[in-house]
């Protein structure tokens, strides 16, 4: 399975979308109580709503670094090399992105949407993760099924 323009576009879109998240999650792991981390994770000048909100953020940071980032990185390399295992891992990363962002739609929208507005919310703060996840998952399934795009 040779990498196509669509493959490259999805990998680049994924990197643009996910690298800032991984950076923010790294900040959460090394300086969870710093103002810089709060600014990155929940917004400038904002504070954790309660201990559960803080603990969810810590748990998500660990999950992203131990599970999601390695799967995304390996899957990206695999699809660019045209390996079927790469498409499986890329699809898993897409499914993970969809899964957590469906949860975040219900748990975070009431806090994030009003402070960021519809354009920013439906692009970087929430939308890009859903768009990339759905596209990566669907594309991986189609490629594994033998369907080729440009």
In a domain, 92, yes or no: yes
Each of the 150 residues of the chain gets a pLDDT tens digit; together they read 899 999 999 999 999 999 999 999 999 999 998 999 998 888 878 889 999 999 999 999 999 999 999 999 999 999 999 999 999 999 999 999 999 999 999 988 888 888 888 998 899 888 999 999 999 999 999 999 999 877
Residue 44, Cβ density class (10 Å: 0-12 exposed, 13-18 middle, ≥19 buried): exposed
In a domain, 87, yes or no: yes
Tally of domains within the chain: 1
Residue 89: domain span: 5-144
In a domain, 60, yes or no: yes
In a domain, 149, yes or no: no
């Amino acid at each position: 399975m040779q990498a196509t323009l669509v493959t490259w576009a999805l990998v680049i879109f994924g990197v643009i979308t996910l690298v800032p998240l991984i950076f923010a999650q790294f900040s959460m792991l090394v300086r969870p109580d710093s103002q810089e981390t709060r600014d990155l994770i929940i917004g400038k000048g904002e504070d954790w709503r309660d201990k559960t909100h803080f603990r969810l953020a810590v748990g998500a940071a660990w999950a992203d670094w131990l599970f999601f980032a390695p799967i995304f990185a390996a899957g990206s390399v695999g699809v660019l090399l045209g390996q079927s295992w790469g498409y499986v891992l890329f699809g898993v990363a897409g499914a993970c992105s969809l899964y957590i962002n469906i949860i975040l739609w219900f748990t975070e929208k009431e806090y994030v949407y009003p402070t960021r507005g519809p354009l920013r919310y439906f692009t970087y703060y929430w939308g890009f993760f859903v768009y990339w996840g759905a596209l990566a998952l669907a594309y991986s399934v189609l490629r594994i099924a033998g369907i080729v795009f440009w």
